[in-house]
Chain A
């Protein structure tokens, strides 16, 4: 099938066919990163702007490496260095960026919907690298790629996502993405961290993480989004770790081939015990490796074809 999207904004706007094309392409391109000369000329002459209005290490580096391995020219803007600090609005920034005629803009922004706003204003392809609590589609795609590689399929799998669901764009995007591909997603965490109405998106909600882990093929552990929590979501990290942290004991009844995932960064000893993060079931570093492949695939699909 032909891939004809302009932007990658969220998982809701991707069909299951499109998701499959992205994952297939990523698997093909993954090999490039293992070569001694890790570069192909595919996107030579294309310009990609990385516009990160929120701190990021992993995602920004991953996008940058992905673009460079495809020979695109990359420019990085950060929130603190850009005109935003001088009071420029997103609309004006968008118009100015458009005037420089980039081919793609990768944006991370603390406000949900900011990438959608940018997509309406500029001709360049927009890739959402995380907008507030809304969506993080490239993370969901790399998670799906990792699971598919390991399990050979997505359809029929049971995925448990554990922790701070309410503030997590990763949870939302994975819930929608995995559900679209035929997997069954269970969300588990303290009730204060389960957003209202999420069952309507196809999630099975539990408050007891052991019951969620019990029959799961994959357990995805989320970080407590301290920077987004305001108010009284939980009493203490100590109690959180005790009831909702993933420990070896809680994995006692799990499937023998369970996969443990985490989008990073990890708060060791809070949502995940160090021996679990580094244990035999963990595929956390494979996720990071696949992140480059998925982002190469997206840049290739958006910019590589005849336009």
Chain B
């Protein structure tokens, strides 16, 4: 029976409310005890992980990741994406269905889970498609997807433009207890825009899309949530208008949750200056006012979750004219350090941040075993808040390098990621 003792760290778990220096004993991959003085007796057999001066949290969960496998393995595979997740402190990720073939059926979900079982170092929870082939014409088989292991449905990458289809998706998903994750974009209004509409787009001569392309759809989906009573999760919120609509929906008691990504609270549209294709993403980086609203929404709880929207692309898609470049940036390996900056800005405390990156995410997804409780699998992340480092994409575990944060000086990062008692990543030299 293998025992691991994590000692000396400050354990923070929003689920159980614990916040203090405590030891965690792990046996057979499960948490055997927390802060039990008896369990800390000298033990020759136990492997000891010294976490003093560091933070021990429930494993971080990223509910919005593009793993690219099957179909675009040159950008990312399940294996490399999971290594990137572990490197960034995540013990579990949800993968979006816009692969090739699309994950709109049991066999693709099965494939992903089998691959993950074989090669992945972190847990993988597939998200199935809302519409068959992501074509927005008819519903995918939600029951079959759920039975195969999908935890939610989404047409992420595409909006469900047909309001009736979205209505039926919400209703039908309710019958299976599946969460619907909405990619909110009015394609007609976004038209052929390649960045946010405004001064920067005007200066660069690039076609803009107005911020309303997002919140027009957020408004529609909230109305459909009200109509159906089904749970709705709004992905990658990027605008002030969306924040206000979500705030209002929550005040009215609707079952709406929302996420944003680190780039929406870290960057503005000015990151595009110089035609930087690494800053091309959808929804696009917005203006300063939107960024402030996102930060405020995170601070006051309007936005529940921080998810990376990790979207790997190779030089083939990014080393081209801005108009032709693909949307998306990788984020698994920068999400935590960028999010920790919210603490520096005084927008939230550490417990709140961990909730948004772990326990709250698990609740929204209805995952089993939430938080650091005795008997739960030992999924945990050790964070060094004081570690300063320079982002170097060459050291990333992801197959892709498309990040606008390369060269940024950041403070705080995951130093150990443990999944089911196994170390998935550690930056300490291995014995």
* Given A91-B319, A117-B321, A132-B323: A112 in contact with B202 (beta carbons within 8 A): no
Q: B191 at the A/B interface (Cβ < 8 Å)? A: yes
Is A198 engaged at the interface, CB distance under 8 Å to the other chain?
Answer: yes
B199 closest partner in A (C-beta): A197
Question: At the interface, yes or no: B9 with Cβ under 8 Å from chain A?
Answer: no
Which stretch in B205-213, B297-305, B367-375, B398-406 binds the other chain?
A: B205-213
B346 to chain A, nearest CB (A): 30
In the assembled complex, A200 has its CB within 8 A of some CB on chain B: yes
| 8 A Cβ contacts from B152-206 to A | 191-192, 197-206
Contact, CB under 8 Å: B204 / A113: yes
Contacts of B191 in A (CB 8 A): 230-231
> Which residues in A have their C-beta under 8 angstroms from that of B202?
172, 195-198, 201
A292 at the interface (CB under 8 A from B): no
Q: Which residues of B contact A195 (CB under 8 A)?
A: 201-202, 208
A2 touches B (CB below 8 Å): no
- Give the size of the chain B interface in residues (CB under 8 angstroms): 23
Are A112 and B320 within 8 A (Cβ)?
no
Q: How far is the CA of A196 from the CA of B209 in the complex (A)?
A: 11
Which among B199, B275, B321, B323 is the interface contact of A196 at CB below 8 angstroms? Answer: B199
CB contacts (< 8 Å) of A12 on chain B: these are 203
Is there an interface contact between B201 and A196, defined as CB atoms closer than 8 Å? yes
Smallest Cβ-Cβ distance to B320: which chain A residue: A89
State whether A134 and B206 are in contact (beta carbons under 8 Å apart), knowing that A196-B197, A196-B199, A231-B191 are contacts in the complex.
yes
CB distance from B412 to the nearest CB of A (A): 33
List chain A residues, Cβ under 8 A from B203.
12, 172, 197, 201
Which residues of the other chain, B, contact A114 by a CB distance below 8 angstroms?
321
CB distance from B419 to the nearest CB of A (A): 40
Any A CB within 8 A of the CB of B274? yes
B274 A116 Cβ-Cβ under 8 A:
yes
Determine whether B125 belongs to the interface, using a CB cutoff of 8 Å to chain A.
no
Contact of B425 with A by CB under 8 A: no
A105 contacts B by Cβ under 8 Å:
no
Say whether A109 faces chain B, with CB atoms less than 8 Å apart: yes
Chain B residue at smallest Cβ distance from A195 = B202
Contact indicator B197/A131 (Cβ below 8 Å): no
**Which residues of A are found within 8 Å of B324, using beta-carbon distances?**
111
Using CB atoms, name the residue of chain A closest to B206.
A112
Known: A117-B275, A231-B191. A133 touches B320 (CB 8 A): no
Query: How long is the Cα–Cα vector from A142 to B193 in the complex, in angstroms?
Result: 31
Q: Is B215 interfacial (CB 8 A cutoff)?
A: no
Q: How far is the CB of B194 from chain A (nearest CB, A)?
A: 9
Closest A residue to B324 by beta carbon equals A111
Q: Is B264 an interface residue (CB 8 A)?
A: no
Choose among B191, B199, B275, B321 the residue with the greatest number of A CB atoms under 10 Å from its CB: B321
Residue of A nearest to B200 (CB): A197
CA distance A111 to B204 in the complex (A): 11
> A169 an interface residue at 8 Å Cβ cutoff?
yes
**Contact of A133 with B205 in the complex, beta carbons under 8 Å:** yes
**Per-position 1/0 for B319-331, Cβ under 8 A of A:** 1111110000000
Cα distance, A198 to B208, chains bound together (Å): 13
Chain A 109-150 interface residues, beta-carbon cutoff 8 Å to B: 109-114, 116-117, 131-135
Partner of B205, one of A90, A112, A230, A231: A112
How far, in angstroms, from A112 to B208 measured CA to CA in the complex? 12
- Asked, given contacts A112-B275, A117-B275, whether A133 binds B199 with beta carbons under 8 Å apart, the answer is no
* A112, chain B: closest CB distance, angstroms: 4
Instruction: Give 19 new A-B contacts, CB below 8 A, not counting A91-B320, A197-B202, A230-B192.
Output: A89-B319, A89-B320, A90-B320, A110-B323, A112-B205, A112-B322, A117-B321, A133-B206, A135-B205, A169-B205, A172-B203, A172-B205, A195-B208, A196-B198, A196-B199, A196-B202, A201-B199, A201-B203, A230-B191
**Sampled A-B contacts (26; CB under 8 Å):** A89-B319, A91-B319, A109-B321, A111-B321, A111-B322, A112-B322, A112-B323, A113-B206, A113-B322, A114-B321, A116-B274, A117-B275, A132-B205, A132-B323, A133-B205, A135-B205, A169-B205, A172-B202, A196-B197, A196-B198, A196-B199, A196-B210, A198-B202, A201-B199, A201-B202, A231-B191
Give me the interface of B with A, judged by CB distance under 8 Å.
191-192, 197-208, 210, 274-275, 319-324
Task: Give the 4 A-B CB pairs with smallest separation, nearest first.
Answer: A134-B205, A197-B199, A113-B275, A111-B321
